[in-house]
A and B are shown apart, each in its own frame.
Chain A
Amino acid sequence: MSERFVLRVNAQERAVIVEPDTPLLYVLRNDLGLDGPKFGCGLSQCGACSVLRDGIEIRSCVTPISAVSGSEIITSEGLGSEPKSKALQRAFIAEQVPQCGYCISGMMIAASELLERNPKPSTDEIKTAMNGHLCRCGAHLRIIRAITRAADESEPA
């Protein structure tokens, strides 16, 4: 049976009436019109669907809506309204990171979570933090450079 769920998405309160087991990904994309998160595997293996839930990265493809009721969700579209994440976006543009860009939404989410908890990560720390995100185009080197650039350009912690 469908139920009503309320959550804050990109700083706005949103309500949906869906089955409790509906993956958050489809609620975001199809009910709320937020296409930043992407379907990649539906198995929590690739990271294309990642969003922040209360500041922590989650895989929206395997997260039922019932598990995030009342949470604060940030998608890649929501990152641009916050100064640190804005710096991250600028760095990804300056480094001309994406090729196809399909993985990039999830990469932005993981990178923003990383910089939040570790404002000056080393290259190895970046690699470890991003390791669960797959990229087929081979943009890894640019992603690492962009995260480093964003860290360098933000204020010292």
Chain B
Amino acid sequence: MKNSHATRRELMQGTGALVVGFALCGTVTSNAAQTSSVIRGIDPSNLDSWIAIARDGGVTIFSGRVDLGTGTEIVLAQFAAEELDVPVERVSVIMGDTRVTPDQGKTTASLNVIRGSQPIRVAAAEARAALLKMASDEFGVSEAELEVSEGIVHPIGLLHNGISYGELIGDKNFSITLELAGTTEEDISRGVMLNTSVPLKNTEDYRVIGQSLPRPDIPAKVAGTYEYVHNVRVPGMLHGRVARPPSMGSTLLSVSEDTIRDIPGARMVQRNNFLGVVAPREDDAIKAVRALRPEWSSHEPLPEFNQIYDELLNQPIVADLMSYNQGDIAAGLASGQTRLKSSYNFPFQEHAMIGPSCAVADVRAEHAIIWSGSQWPQGDRSDIATMLGMALDDVQLIWHSASGSYGRLACDDAAADAAIMSQIVGQPVRVQWMRDDEHGWEPLSPAMTMSIEGACDANGRITAFDYLQYSPSHSTGEKGNHIAWHLIGGAPGWGRMSGGGAALWYDCEAKRARNIFVEPWMRGIYLRSPGGFQSIFAYERFIDELSVEAGFDPLAMRLNNVSDPRERDVLQAVAEMSNWDAEATANDDSGRTHLTGRGIAMGRYGREGGSISALVVDVTVERDSGNIKLERVFIAFDCGHVINPDGLLNQVEGGLLQGLSRALHEEVRFDREKITSLDWNAYPIITFTQVPEVKTRLISRPDLPWASAGEAGQVATAAALANAVANATGGQPRRLPLKPDYVKSLI
């Protein structure tokens, strides 16, 4: 699928750079950005950087953003096909190859559709306009007298007289300069946007957008032939494995190559505290890393596991930031009839991808290529170049799909491991993390302790909502913080603060979310709605507690406090789907062996207004064991204008199940030295027999912009489940995960 159709002609002619295979290439200079010092690589103001049309009519889109298994590839193809008026099958998408794709920032925050598609839509529309102009010259008629049918330009109504896009462009480039919508560092790092000189299609004219078109990657994934980064092989490649220290901060005291001498071709690879092995055979590399007997200094950087929430309050404070702050909290609290204060705890969690991180690097004296599953090809490229002491132009990164990632994880670390090893041995090296590497060393979703004080009046209207969280930033692992870079020395560390409380959607006049960011113990990184999943767990548990305290039905309580019709619609939809009965929520299961419960929660999350979900969860709790059985989940979901309904359903269902998994099971465990939950037994995730019946309703709003899809299906799941457990047990779950012992203690 990739690399078919068109070539990037100017690069082919200029430098021979587009050898998309395993050959090393030189510096891409002919198309390097001139517009802004913060833009890396390919010039986004050149139309040819985004789109190429081949003589055979094949359209190639170049995207700096990548598809993490969420369906980005088909959605980008849909946008391009729509604006170009070509069949979607004719569009192929090259993603995340720093030699040929423009820098579009990180593939994060579910912004592929909102932000990643924008320049591609504009480029496709600009290309169509340019092709129409060419056709108008060809036919000697005005552009207004022409139309396009499936990539054929023809006089209106005269399809048989048409000329194809491929014939029009021939072997030429477009050579059209586009205008960037912003060139600040913030604009570029969030993803470049383009101004358009031609009108984009009107929503009512869409024929491709809004259709459940099948994903091009799926047949190969089903047949076992899809090319993951784990499958990349380069001639002369060695297999590498990393020998990790017992904890971050340990130093290597001694190690000898003697213990691996009997393993064919095995070599030890060391630079300062970075230690690994390489061998021609993968199984031999595994044997070798297990045979190494390094001695490390002991170090205890972690808090006592069972005191983490107290320790969060005692950690040095790095930043103290507000997510929102309006109205008079004290007055709001005073004016309420029912007043409540409650605290909630959320554990460290893993991204826990099924395929541990893997990367291949071929680092030579003059140039380097990295094959990585990174969500941020340009960022990882630039970090690795600095770490290796190489010029940015001499390092290129080619993305291949990794196993699913739901926020940036250890893919970038594996790339740095492979790069250092390759630089040392002078041969290409593939590094595959083992399961304990992934569970033990991936950057985590940080633990958080939260408190809320709030009140409501006699009508159930919230009069004050005061949220406070203590947590390390969710982006301490983001940049300059690769494990390997720390181990060799010189890593610049982290700076960005993220993961604060989500914007509160309730119509409360006095509200505040204060986020106290503390020093991290371990690297943190975004995991599917960072800060959102945690804070919305607290928000929606609190609203439930408040509704119980004030004597309101929890659905009515929420409806009392939202006025946005979209929020009301998802609540009413899920109430209808689940036959919500306001009278039936009081639970009397005394004496029974199994307690039944039903919970409701909602969430609004994401940029540009966000997406909205509401859920009802039905559970049965076994009294003796505290085991939760998930019976049914109903979810109503609104992310504005839906581009690919079936793809969206897959995201909503997946986010939902993953959210239930996080709420039911997931908690990273550690001792003072290191993480100890190193496999799927110690860090379980949801399995088939725990999967409930799920009913989903999508509310599409073609009158609204498209919003993000990946996160809002997850954000309210933990709260809805915990509210159901509260309803079943009569207790108030205030921490996750909802393991049997904890649930039993609530009964």
**Residues of chain A having any CB pair with chain B under 8 Å:** 18-19, 22-23, 26, 29-30, 34-43, 45-46, 48, 75-77, 79-80, 89, 92-93, 96-105, 108, 126-128, 130-144
Q: In the complex, A39 Cα to B431 Cα: how many Å?
A: 13
- Contact status B654-A36, CB under 8 Å: no
The 5 closest A-B pairs by CB, nearest first: A36-B224, A100-B69, A76-B224, A100-B404, A101-B221
Q: In the complex, A95 Cα to B27 Cα: how many Å?
A: 43
- Contact status B214-A100, CB under 8 Å: no
- Contact status B654-A138, CB under 8 Å: yes
A-B residue pairs in contact (CB < 8 Å), sample of 8 = A39-B355, A41-B680, A45-B680, A46-B680, A48-B354, A100-B402, A101-B221, A103-B354
A contact residues around B223 at 8 Å (CB): 36, 76-77, 79-80, 89
**Cβ-defined partner of A130 (8 Å) among B282, B356, B688:** B688
B contact residues around A89 at 8 Å (CB): 222-223
B contact residues around A30 at 8 Å (CB): 281-282
- Contact status A39-B432, CB under 8 Å: yes
- Contact status B353-A102, CB under 8 Å: yes
Contacts A38-B230, A45-B680, A138-B655; is A102 near B688 (CB within 8 Å)? no
Indicate if B68 sits at the interface (CB-CB under 8 A): yes
**Cβ-defined partner of B219 (8 Å) among A37, A75, A93:** A93
- Contact status B691-A144, CB under 8 Å: yes
Q: In the complex, A35 Cα to B653 Cα: how many Å?
A: 28
- Contact status A77-B225, CB under 8 Å: yes
Binary A-proximity of B620-661 (CB < 8 A = 1, otherwise 0): 000000000000000000000000001100110111111001
**Cβ-defined partner of A102 (8 Å) among B225, B228, B406:** B228
CB distance from A63 to the nearest CB of B (A): 13
B contact residues around A108 at 8 Å (CB): 222, 224
- Contact status A98-B354, CB under 8 Å: no
Indicate if B320 sits at the interface (CB-CB under 8 A): no
Q: In the complex, A35 Cα to B514 Cα: how many Å?
A: 49
**Residues of chain B having any CB pair with chain A under 8 Å:** 68-71, 214-215, 217-219, 221-228, 230-231, 281-283, 286, 352-356, 401-406, 432, 434-435, 646-647, 650-651, 653-658, 661, 679-681, 685-689, 691, 694
Q: In the complex, A30 Cα to B239 Cα: how many Å?
A: 11
Secondary structure call for the A interface: loop
- Contact status A136-B432, CB under 8 Å: no
- Contact status B222-A104, CB under 8 Å: yes
- Contact status A136-B222, CB under 8 Å: no
CB distance from A126 to the nearest CB of B (A): 7
Q: In the complex, A71 Cα to B354 Cα: how many Å?
A: 28
Contacts A100-B404, A101-B69; is A127 near B691 (CB within 8 Å)? yes
A contact residues around B228 at 8 Å (CB): 35, 38, 102
- Contact status B654-A139, CB under 8 Å: yes
With a 10 A CB-CB cut-off, give which of A38, A43, A96, A108 has the most chain B CB atoms: A96
A contact residues around B655 at 8 Å (CB): 138
- Contact status B281-A40, CB under 8 Å: no
- Contact status A96-B215, CB under 8 Å: yes
Q: In the complex, A103 Cα to B69 Cα: how many Å?
A: 12
B contact residues around A99 at 8 Å (CB): 69-71, 404, 650-651, 654
Name which residue of chain A comes closest to B228, CB basis: A102
B contact residues around A96 at 8 Å (CB): 214-215, 218, 646-647, 650
- Contact status A140-B688, CB under 8 Å: yes
Q: In the complex, A92 Cα to B223 Cα: how many Å?
A: 10
B contact residues around A104 at 8 Å (CB): 221-222, 224
Q: In the complex, A15 Cα to B409 Cα: how many Å?
A: 38
- Contact status B679-A41, CB under 8 Å: yes
Q: In the complex, A129 Cα to B646 Cα: how many Å?
A: 26
Q: In the complex, A46 Cα to B434 Cα: how many Å?
A: 13
Q: In the complex, A140 Cα to B69 Cα: how many Å?
A: 15
Q: In the complex, A102 Cα to B653 Cα: how many Å?
A: 18
B contact residues around A36 at 8 Å (CB): 223-225
Name which residue of chain B comes closest to A105, CB basis: B224
- Contact status A140-B404, CB under 8 Å: no
- Contact status B283-A40, CB under 8 Å: no
B contact residues around A79 at 8 Å (CB): 223-224
**Cβ-defined partner of B658 (8 Å) among A23, A75, A126, A136:** A136
CB distance from A47 to the nearest CB of B (A): 9
**Cβ-defined partner of B680 (8 Å) among A80, A134, A137:** A134
CB distance from A45 to the nearest CB of B (A): 4
- Contact status A139-B354, CB under 8 Å: no
B contact residues around A142 at 8 Å (CB): 650, 653
Q: In the complex, A108 Cα to B218 Cα: how many Å?
A: 13
Q: In the complex, A97 Cα to B680 Cα: how many Å?
A: 23
A contact residues around B281 at 8 Å (CB): 26, 30
Q: In the complex, A135 Cα to B690 Cα: how many Å?
A: 13
CB distance from A42 to the nearest CB of B (A): 6
**Cβ-defined partner of A136 (8 Å) among B354, B647, B651, B681:** B354
- Contact status B224-A22, CB under 8 Å: no
A contact residues around B222 at 8 Å (CB): 89, 92-93, 97-98, 101, 104, 108
With a 10 A CB-CB cut-off, give which of A34, A92, A126 has the most chain B CB atoms: A92
Name which residue of chain B comes closest to A39, CB basis: B432
